[in-house]
């Protein structure tokens, strides 16, 4: 593929999967992970860190809030734990 004709595209389309496979092997991680899997993880961690939804959408290149919420924002174990702690504190403060 000609990168001058298609700016932003790799010269060899298999370059990204090959590189990902190599990096996963070096890191001793699950070979089923994909760049898209990492995108989902990154988004969930941003939400867990209380990053504003508008900023997350900007990072993902989304214009539709519903897509970001429905497809990318996953509830992590840490978020569930934090919600439980917050609710417990709320009940104690009543």
Specify whether 47 is located in the same domain as 71: yes
Residues 27 and 62 in one domain: no
Same domain, 1 and 22: yes
Task: Tell me: do 40 and 82 sit in the same domain.
Answer: yes
| Domain hosting residue 45, numbered range | 35-93
pLDDT of residue 10: 65
Q: What is the pLDDT of residue 3?
A: 58
SS3 27: coil
Q: Counting Cβ atoms within 10 Å, is residue 47 exposed (0-12), middle (13-18) or buried (19+)?
A: buried
- The reported pLDDT for the residue numbered 67 is 87
Query: Is 2 in the same domain as 40?
Result: no
Encoded tokens for 80? 């569930």
What pLDDT does 73 receive?
Answer: 82
Are residue 72 and residue 43 in the same domain, yes or no?
A: yes
- Is the same domain home to 69 and 46? yes
Residues 23, 50: one domain?
no
What distance in Å separates the CA atoms of residue 49 and residue 74, rounded to the nearest whole number? 13
The dihedral built from the CA positions of residue 31, 59, 75 and 94, taken in this order, carries a sign that is positive
Same domain, 10 and 50: no
Domain count for the chain: 2
**pLDDT of 12-68, one tens digit each?**
767 788 888 999 999 999 888 888 888 988 998 898 898 999 999 999 999 999 988
Indicate whether 45 and 78 sit together in one domain: yes
């Amino acid at each position: 593929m000609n990168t001058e004709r298609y700016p932003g595209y790799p010269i060899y389309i298999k370059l990204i999967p090959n590189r990902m496979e190599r990096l996963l092997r070096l890191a001793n991680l699950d070979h089923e992970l994909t760049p898209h899997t990492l995108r989902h993880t990154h988004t969930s961690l941003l939400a867990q860190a209380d990053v504003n939804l508008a900023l997350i959408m900007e990072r993902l290149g989304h214009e539709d809030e519903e897509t970001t919420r429905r497809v990318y924002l996953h509830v992590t174990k840490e978020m569930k734990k934090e919600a439980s702690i917050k609710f417990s504190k709320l009940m104690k403060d009543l």
